[in-house]
Amino acid sequence: MLVEKWLALTLKTKYFLIMVIIVGTMGIWLPFLVDLAFKQYNYGLREVTLNAITYCLAIIVTNFIDFTMKVKKFRDPKVPMFHAFAGLGIVMLFVFIAIIFNYNYPAQSFIFSLISVMITLSMWWFYNKGNETFEPYTVLPGGNFNDD
């Protein structure tokens, strides 16, 4: 049952779950697990906040650059560049607020970093809308593998 559901997911969804969520967030959860393994317990809310912020920045900036290059390449007037800049600006604002609050208000800073992560992941989905990399027949070299 679970395998059937997994196989029914699109390539974009599988990539998002495995690469963006699990592998991409290693910088957030791996230090915590290492601290637990060695019983150091030095990893707190401030560290999680800062790691979440670096995760946001890495994803949003990379995808923003890819998105603007795609717009420049195809010169599609329907592509809403305003939304891309607005999303980048909103994430940067939340990241800036999270950094400022991190040492005096760690709980509020953590909330802002979580909001930044949610917006960033939504923006990843938006930036990759229509990305031909995630089309089912462009995965293998040579195009459509169903052709004879």
- Show the domain range for 126: 9-134
Q: Is 143 contained in some domain?
A: no
Percent of residues, the chain, with pLDDT higher than 90? 0
pLDDT of residue 145: 46
User: Per-residue pLDDT tens for 54-94?
Assistant: 888 888 888 878 777 777 666 655 556 776 777 778 888 88
pLDDT at 95: 84
Tell whether the model's pLDDT for residue 96 goes beyond 50.
yes
Q: What's the average model confidence in pLDDT over 106-124?
A: 87
**Overall domain count for the chain:** 1
Structure tokens at 109: 């800073």
* Structure-model confidence comparison of residues 68 and 33, the more confident one: 33
Give a yes or no: residue 111 inside a domain: yes
The reply to whether 144 falls in a domain is: no
In a domain, 102, yes or no: yes
Judge whether 114 lies within some domain. yes
The whole-angstrom separation of Cα 133 and Cα 125 is 13
Lowest mean pLDDT among 40-44, 100-104, 122-126: 40-44
Confidence category of residue 131, pLDDT binned at 50, 70, 90: confident
Does 4 map to a domain? no
Q: Are 32 and 45 in contact (CB under 8 A)?
A: no
Global pTM?
Answer: 0.73
Mean pLDDT throughout 135-141?
Answer: 54
pLDDT confidence bin for 112, thresholds 50/70/90: confident
Residue 129 belongs to some domain of the structure: yes
Taking alpha carbons only, the member of 55, 47, 50, 61 closest to residue 22 is: 55
Structure tokens at 116: 């930044």
Q: Does a structural domain hold residue 85?
A: yes
Annotate 69-120 with DSSP letters as a single string: HHHHHH--TTS-HHHHHHHHHHHHHHHHHHHHHTTT-HHHHHHHHHHHHHHH
Over residues 108-135, mean pLDDT: 83
Question: Residue 68, CB half-sphere, CA atoms under 13 Å: how many?
Answer: 10
